[in-house]
Amino acid sequence: MRCCGAALGRYGSATMKARRSPWLDDRAALLVSLLADRHGLTVSEDTARQDISDDLDHVARLARIGRQAAKVYITDDTISKMADRIAAAVAEHQTATAAAGGVEHQDVDVVDLDTERRRRRLTP
């Protein structure tokens, strides 16, 4: 099963690709690994990197701190919970599609991570 990240930002505009760094690469590799091992989901490292980068921006904005300072809040446990939320969103999407009795999109196994990010930010 595949997940795909959207290239659209919060207001529908294209977002820049997440900056590469050893720290972000390590976190992205962990997310990719957890999704594959625990949930049987495949996601690219670029998509995982973008999702983590967006989450880092969100934490920095909420705490009114810089990205660098916000990194301490993106722990292995945070990444683990992120993987579980993504998997839950995939399962929810599949259940809703099956309940509707049809295929909502051409590729039923694709979940828009941008939509999941927005939903996650709205829930406490």
Q: For residue range 34-46, what is the model confidence (pLDDT) as tens digits?
A: 999 999 999 999 9
Q: Are 104 and 115 in contact (CB under 8 A)?
A: no
Q: Can you tell me which residue has the tokens 């993504």? A: 86
Q: Are 19 and 53 in contact (CB under 8 A)?
A: yes
Q: How far apart are CA 66 and CA 88, in angstroms?
A: 30
Q: Are 78 and 12 in contact (CB under 8 A)?
A: no
Q: How far apart are CA 16 and CA 7, in angstroms?
A: 8
Q: What is the DSSP secondary structure assignment for residue 70, as one 8-state letter?
A: H
- pLDDT tens for 1-21 read 545 454 333 333 345 566 789
Q: Where are the domains of the chain?
A: 22-93+107-122
Q: What is the pTM of this model?
A: 0.70
